[in-house]
Chain A
């Protein structure tokens, strides 16, 4: 094994550090805290209905969570910096909504849409809307120092209202193929949205774990003054994080619009609660500085597996919300017991 250090000196015997303590191993295990729960749910699901572990059903679960999981990814990177972005759920609806509004032909859709842009601009417009929303959040939160919770709550309402306004409260349909492709295509027999969400998580894990900007997120969330003192451009990083989060939420919205071949005015409405729940269950702290994307992924996976088991078990859809909430509370208690520490 080569020594990458430039000093050329031989390692001193380091008498102090000779006896490693066990704490870090435990810390690493916390990322895996939900894995036992996921296995238990898998076993229970298999007992309830053997279809549960069939590859079709597994892909079905992964596809059903793919869009929300990308929003969870976006929210997680914001939460790690100690901020929060509630407006992601509205960006999730508005970004594809704007693209549809500019592109679809009112002659086909009974007066909806402007038909001013060719369909090739669909994806760039969607992503640009997400980035703009993030940049505006950044302007208010980072530049003007306003409270992130209230700013993004205001943005949530404004953006939702904007989508309702341009759509007249109706659903955009007859979307161009450029908008439906990513959400409905299959690559190697697996939906493209599943590939995308897994790839984004993999990329996110590398960025947050192995790059300086990624570690800067943790430093900012842990102690922003210390981060600044270490030479991190905290404002720039925060701003960039909000822009990336908005862009990711827009992409997630594009995927679900593509899957459903429509943009309802209520797309994403209320989804932010599930997003927060998944992140917190996955070990991401609302106070910042703590949590991993892998943990967040296990959080969202656990939630959707339980929903799937309930569906397979024949629980009526009217009870889904009740059970969703109950699952979130139970998962918090379970992670408190297994993780040893309260989720904050």
Chain B
């Protein structure tokens, strides 16, 4: 490739070790001006380490980093780094207790005589900065009131205000709904037109095809390939990431257990937020509930499993009516749950895999009235084997696992009680493609055992394994799609557009 301008960043022969672990082995990346470059790889491929090195938070053990053809500044010169590159991390670097304006100018507040901060001038600077990048946020509001989307825009504006025209986005879409992702992409395209170079990290491959023009694949700490996105098919990209072919499962069209009994019956359920749903699901059936961020899909799922107390309606599992808003009762009735946010509700990070997996089923690991460590470990080993959790022993704290393996532990916990009804809320959020394959593969096994599975998600890969998908918009079920739908059709319905009637 010939280009008169030197690359924005050139990282070559980068090796980085953490103790005995090699995070990057002779890896690297070249990003050219004006492009939107995707960095992909499975969990543990070295993406985060590479980002750490590109942003000057870590020094490579070997190899060099150059910006615009010049060697990178010393690690201690934060200001120099910030004027070259900025990263919007998955974990927020916004301080919730402070106002948006102060967050934008943290540690570089506008000062007047006596080196005292001038809050008025600071606020006006913030207003100007936000207006310049058309971010519709009041600088006076506390940052804690920002939505995920607004927070990202504020972080992007802050990064640009340091003069950096190269921005790394670490899984920016992980917590956004479909509409939010569209707005983010529109903004990113805008930035690109204004000459900003982007490095985009995502687990969602279709997003890479939507927004990126170059892609770099890392695998097992090594650089595998850098090429134009258009030149690399989806299947080829997945193989480059995994080193083998991965096929995500899909439900066969029109498979519906004919004479199976109704296992889950939800009648006139109304959540506190006003979302409504009624549904019946058969034993051995996989039902999806799809919808955008404000569709109410998560709320109805939480009401079904008892995490939230519904305003009205009943839930019956295998003939037993669940007590509203009562999780222990739901567990007792044979409900297994993978909650929306694994960090918040899914597991206890300091406890071991064994303790987490068996948390909901103390009865099954009891022996003469006391918990039996042997039985607990046996059950946990089973889960580790079934779900291909990457861990040497059940005694490893969950905090030490990668995101995909943590989610498998949460799935293991949901399965520990051999549930009749398995409810999965966004089960593959933020996990790599291989873990996704395992997690979705488990659903098929559960289904074959005669259980009902409810998948609540807006992720098409999750919904493809459903026998039918209920689509919710603004708290109502607006459509039911039997498997075999096209991606466009389902997305359009989730966005409230019916392609059949346009």
Contact = CB atoms under 8 A, between A and B. Distances in A.
Interface residues of B, number: 43
Residue among A20, A24, A209, A225 with the highest chain B CB neighbour number at 10 A: A24
Contacts of A108: none
A24 B82 CA distance: 30
A337 interface: no
Given A210-B116, A219-B98, A225 B91 contact: yes
A218 B99 CA distance: 11
A211 B119 CA distance: 11
Contacts of B110: 4
Contacts of A7: 128
B139 interface: yes
A17 B107 contact: no
B121 A4 contact: yes
Contact of A211 (B95, B117, B141): B117
A210 B130 CA distance: 23
Interface string B55-89: 00000000000000000000000110010000000
A211 B112 CA distance: 10
Given A4-B118, A5-B125, A11-B128, A212 B109 contact: yes
A23 B140 contact: yes
A215 B91 contact: no
B138 A17 contact: yes
Interface in A188-234: 206, 209-212, 215-216, 218-219, 221-223, 225-227, 229-232
Contacts of B108: 212, 231
Contacts of B492: none
Contacts of B118: 4
A232 B95 CA distance: 13
Contacts of B99: 24
A228 to B, nearest CB: 9
A226 B95 contact: yes
A227 B140 contact: no
Main secondary structure of the interface of B (DSSP, over half): loop
Contact of A17 (B106, B112, B127): B127
Nearest to A209: B117
A5 B121 contact: yes
**Interface residue tally on A, bucketed by range:** 35 or more
A41 B131 CA distance: 47
Nearest to A221: B97
A290 interface: yes
- With most chain B CB atoms within 10 A of its CB, the pick from A218, A222, A289 is A222
B83 to A, nearest CB: 12
B94 A223 contact: yes
Nearest to A80: B97
Contact of B137 (A4, A5, A16): A16
B134 A16 contact: yes
A223 B98 CA distance: 10
Interface string A263-290: 0000000000000000000000000011
Contacts of B128: 5, 7, 11-12, 14
B93 A226 contact: yes
Nearest to B96: A222
Contacts of B106: 215, 219, 226-227, 230, 232
A231 B107 contact: yes
B105 to A, nearest CB: 9
Smallest CB-CB A-B distances: 8 pairs: A222-B95, A226-B93, A16-B136, A230-B106, A289-B97, A24-B140, A210-B116, A14-B131
10 contacts: A4-B121, A5-B121, A12-B131, A16-B130, A16-B136, A17-B136, A17-B139, A222-B96, A227-B106, A289-B96
Given A4-B112, A212-B109, 14 more contacts: A11-B127, A14-B127, A14-B131, A17-B130, A21-B141, A210-B116, A215-B117, A223-B93, A223-B94, A223-B95, A226-B94, A231-B107, A232-B106, A289-B98
Interface of B: 78-79, 82, 91-99, 102, 106-112, 115-119, 121, 124-125, 127-128, 130-132, 134-142, 145
